[in-house]
Amino acid sequence: MGHVDFARPGVPMTPNLTSNMTSRPYREHSTESLLSPAERGVMGVLGLAALTLSLRGNALERLLLGAVGVGLAGMAATGTNPLATALKIRQNEEGDTLVSDAITIGQPPEQLYAIWRDLTNLPLLMRHLKAVELLDERRSRWTVPGPVGDVSWEAELTADEPGRRIAWRSLPGASIQNSGEVLFLPAPGDRGTEIRVNLAYHAPGGTTGAVIARLTGQEPSQQLRDDLLRFKREQELGFAPTTQGQSSGRAAQNGHYRQAQDHAPRTAGEAGRNA
């Protein structure tokens, strides 16, 4: 799958947000997973330690420690992570981990765009998010649950093309540097809309952290696939089937639309009726 360009986290944008604003290209130049300088240093130290330990012990221990030491030293020397490459963890030249996925949904692009464009809906669409709070027409505060408490950062819209594309990036100084875009493309054969999501984030622990996350089932590409499948079921079937009882599926979709309505601007007439 080709990557559609979107903004690099932390790069300044023009001050005025327009409906047709576009962002500068985000390019992927490497098919290998690269180690950060800090990771290379750690690998070098561990490799040297393993080689030193391989000088003692029995023959099997020397063989195993020697192999580990050579492998770690090789990673430090080349700056690549072969395990991450084998797991198809993709990165760009800046060391950001890239995640992309797409799904076809039998609904028009305008309808699906309207749901995603209300950023307060994102926690219902992407389950790893806890909350998104709108700060102004282009800035928002995002919150995710962390191992020792919630983690928040501010982000800004970098592209808003109605019915076609939304893009965002974290602001400088964010605790989690990230960027992303959602594309709404006409599906071939009048089958609805292909939603394509492209994400980039600076993984804690670099490629080593990304490998651990993938192996423990917490890697964003797996979460994104689940999110898109659930959204497809909600939009096409009217509910999201679950393994915990059929009634919860219908409630999920109703909650989704209540969330969108709760954050919609009220007219003066509506305000008067609710007073």
Co-location of 104 and 170 in the same domain: yes
More confident residue, 265 or 98: 98
Query: Do 243 and 113 share a structural domain?
Result: yes
More confident residue, 164 or 76: 164
pTM: 0.59
Does residue 157 belong to any structural domain of this protein?
A: yes
Per the structure, the complete domain to which residue 48 belongs is given by 37-79
Query: CATH no. for residue 193?
Result: 3.30.530.20
pLDDT in tens, 92-143: 666 677 888 999 999 999 999 999 999 999 999 988 889 999 999 999 999 9
DSSP secondary structure string for all residues of 54-106: TTSS-HHHHHHHHHHHHHHHHHHHH-B-HHHHHTT-EE-TT--EEEEEEEEES
Number of structural domains found in the chain: 2
127 and 211 inside one domain: yes
Q: Are residues 206 and 165 part of one domain? A: yes
Cβ partners under 8 Å of residue 214, min gap 6: 87, 89, 221, 222
230 assigned to some structural domain: yes
Token code pair at residue 253: 């979709």
Whether residue 136 contacts residue 263, with contact meaning beta carbons closer than 8 Å, is answered with no
Residue 255 has pLDDT above 60, yes or no: no
Are 60 and 185 in a shared domain? no
Span 26-53, average pLDDT: 58
Q: Both 260 and 147 in a single domain?
A: yes
Residues 169 and 69: beta-carbon distance below 8 Å: no
